[in-house]
Amino acid sequence: MPCTIVVGGFYGDEGKGKVVSYLAWRDKPYAAARGGVGPNAGHTVVFEGRTYKLRQLPSAFVSKDTRLYIGAGVLIDPKVFLREVKETGCRGRIWIDGNCGVIEEKHIEEDRKSKHLSGRVGTTGTGCGPANAERALRVLKIAREVDTLREYITDVALVLNEALDSGYSILLEGTQGTFLSLYHTDHYPYCTSKDTTASAVCSDIGIGPRKVTDIILVFKAYTTRVGGGPLEGELPAEKAKEMGILEIATVTGRVRRAAPFNFKLAKRAIMLNSATQIAITNIDRMYPAAYGIKSYDALPKRAREFIEKVEDELKTPVTMISTGPSVEDMIDLREEKLS
């Protein structure tokens, strides 16, 4: 598919990193770009026995020939960005837009000191909210003004639109989840500092909606949330632990609150994103016998019944089912379901 967007359907941490890295590894797109808020995100990629927790770089880095980009709407923390370039060995094939906003130490301090932000909203403390506030005031520094970022700067929107016009395929990665959107949450102010839907990813990168061919919405087989705000059907931590679904957050190390899969929210997420496909992750944590399985028929019966219920209720095909944290732990039904 020439232009595919991957976004989260619940409250972030659905496993977008896993899904994007699988797609890159399998399909080897010409280019991949990250949209979303910035280094508040933590995308976990488990590849060739190593675990990467990417806060800035596109998870598609696992495909060695794929060119990597970060769109103009994404905030850059130069320290985090440069550390990840080194860690992944991507220097020479990663570029950022000159218009990316820049997070400075003062934004991180403000985020962490603010009772409203870190106390009430429960932010990640990475400076994203205060930096986006300055962006709205038009006083925030942008990437082209920062010396250490100079060699990475390009016109991301132009490069990617030209790639699409030349018939190359590109993979776009969102961050956070639909219901952390600044606009599309029912729980304001318990949300992030920007929209997080597929439309926002287009705008972050500079690709018009007409060029998008596929929108893959990622859900976990259950729901998790970190930070403040309501979580319908929230399970006591003890119960979540017993069920094997108690998780620790990638960026902040906090415990992720957990609840059963929420069909009502999922339906709304399908609508808000115009999703064309669904990817379900962490099926093995709900149904341990699913771990590492690569074919649908080999899944335990209750896992298959869950997938059928998801398709039935959401009227959208489940084209990928992730059965473990590693890139290759995936049941890929795209050929079967889309032809």
Site residues (vs ligand IMP, CB under 6 A): 12-13, 37, 40-42, 121-124, 126, 128-129, 175-176, 180, 192-193, 226-228
Q: Is residue 29 a contact residue for ligand GTP (CB under 6 A)? A: no
Give which of Mg ion, ligand IMP, ligand GTP, none residue 192 binds (C-beta under 5 to 8 Å, depending on kind).
ligand IMP
**Which CB atom, from 149 or from 180, has the smaller least distance to ligand IMP?**
180
Is 225 or 285 the residue whose CB approaches ligand IMP more closely? 225
| CA distances (Å), origin 325, targets 85, 148, 200 | 22, 34, 27
- Which candidate in 43, 97, 107, 284 is catalytic? 43
- Cα torsion 70, 76, 80, 85 to 10°: value is 30
Q: How far apart are CA 153 and CA 150, in angstroms?
A: 6
Q: Give yes or no: 65 in active site.
A: no
**Interacting stretch for ligand GTP, rule CB under 6 A, among 173-181, 209-217, 228-236, 296-304?**
173-181
Place of tokens 């639109």: 161
Assess whether 13 carries a catalytic annotation.
yes
Assess 319 for contact with ligand GTP (CB under 6 A).
no
Interface residue with ligand GTP among 26, 44, 104, 122 (CB under 6 A) is 44
For every residue of 231-290, DSSP letters joined together read -TTPPPHHHHHHHT--EE-TTT-PEEEEEE--HHHHHHHHHHHT-SEEEEE-HHHHSGGG
Q: What is the DSSP string of 89-133?
A: T-TTSEEEETT-BB--HHHHHHHHH-IIIIIII---SSSHHHHHH
* Chain-centroid distance, C-alpha 65: 21
Q: How far is the CB of 70 from ligand IMP (least distance, A)?
A: 15
Query: What token pair was written down for 290?
Result: 């699913």
Q: Does 8 bind Mg ion (CB under 5 A)?
A: no
Residue 116 near residue 30, CB atoms below 8 Å: no
Q: Which is nearer to ligand GTP, 44 or 99 (CB)?
A: 44
Cβ atoms of 219 and 177 closer than 8 Å = no
**DSSP bridge partners of 173:** 6, 34
Q: How many C-beta atoms surround the C-beta of residue 189 within 10 A?
A: 12
Does 42 bind ligand GTP (CB under 6 A)? Our answer is yes
Compute the distance between CA of residue 173 and CA of residue 34 in angstroms, rounded to an integer. Answer: 5
Q: Which amino acid is at 106?
A: K
Q: How many CB atoms lie within 10 A of CB 291?
A: 13
For ligand IMP, the closer CB: 13 or 329: 13
When CB distances are held under 5 to 8 angstroms depending on the partner's kind, the choice from ligand GTP, Mg ion, ligand IMP, none that residue 126 binds is ligand IMP
- Selected from 132, 285, 287, 320, the binder of ligand GTP by CB under 6 A is 285
- Give the one entry of ligand IMP, Mg ion, ligand GTP, none that residue 284 binds, where binding means its C-beta sits below a cut-off of 5 to 8 angstroms depending on kind: ligand GTP
Question: Quick one: which segment of 7-15, 98-106, 181-189, 331-339 binds ligand GTP (CB under 6 A)?
Answer: 7-15
Confirm or reject binding of residue 175 to ligand GTP (CB under 6 A): yes
In the complex, the smallest distance separating the C-beta of residue 180 from ligand IMP, rounded to whole angstroms, is 5
Return residues touching Mg ion (CB under 5 A): 13, 42, 250
Q: Which residues are catalytic?
A: 13, 43
Return residues touching ligand GTP (CB under 6 A): 8, 12-18, 41-44, 46, 175-177, 250, 281-282, 284-285, 322-325
